[in-house]
Amino acid sequence: MTALNATELTHTHSGRSSAEVIDSFQGQRANQLLNEAKQALDKAFPLKQGSHCDVVSYFVYYQNLLAFFADGTQTGLQKPCHLIDKEGHREQPESLTLRNEQGEMAQISFKVSGSCGRSDSAHIDEISFRLV
């Protein structure tokens, strides 16, 4: 993300209030951080095919996590045992918890009306990582 000075902000976003401009930049930054977190998921909890960045929905089928893409294809985790918990309905989970052999854990939270979830194709609102 490039830095803009006040003149550039005024010129680029004329007709918008400063609050709207700030909200827009905060939203862009949040989306950028979410995309970086999805890339971290790709490294710690890879899918058999594709990237978490391209997933439009997640579905829990018994103890398996299925990831669906925009073209209708689906895949699972390379190691299905990485899925250790879900909250909510299996077709629309509220959160998923993943843990790998190195002790890395990730919690993926979904919220359609959340600050990130409303603009994310899979409605991911937050991804948090920790070591256990």
Token pair listed for 54: 């391209």
Q: Where are the domains of the chain?
A: 6-131
Q: Report the chain's mean pLDDT, rounded to a whole number.
A: 85
| pLDDT of 48 over the 60 cut | yes
| 68-106-104 Cα angle (round to 5) | 125
Rounded Cα distance between 54 and 75, Å, is: 11
> Quick one: average pLDDT of 56-64?
95
**Above 50 in pLDDT, residue 13?**
no
pLDDT by residue (tens digit) across 105-129? 999 999 998 888 888 999 999 999 9
Q: What are phi and psi of 110, to 5 degrees?
A: -110, 135
CB atoms within 10 A of CB 120: 21
Neighbours of 47 (CB within 10 A): 20
19 confidence band (pLDDT: 50, 70, 90):
low
Looking at the whole model, is its pTM more than 0.85?
Answer: no
What CATH number was assigned to the domain covering residues 6-131?
2.170.170.11
Burial tier of 2 (Cβ tally within 10 Å: 0-12, 13-18, 19+): exposed
- Separation of alpha carbons 128 and 90, rounded Å: 20
Query: Among candidates 21, 23, 30, which has minimal Cα distance to 1?
Result: 30
Position 12 scores a pLDDT of: 45
d(CA 132, CA 58): 24
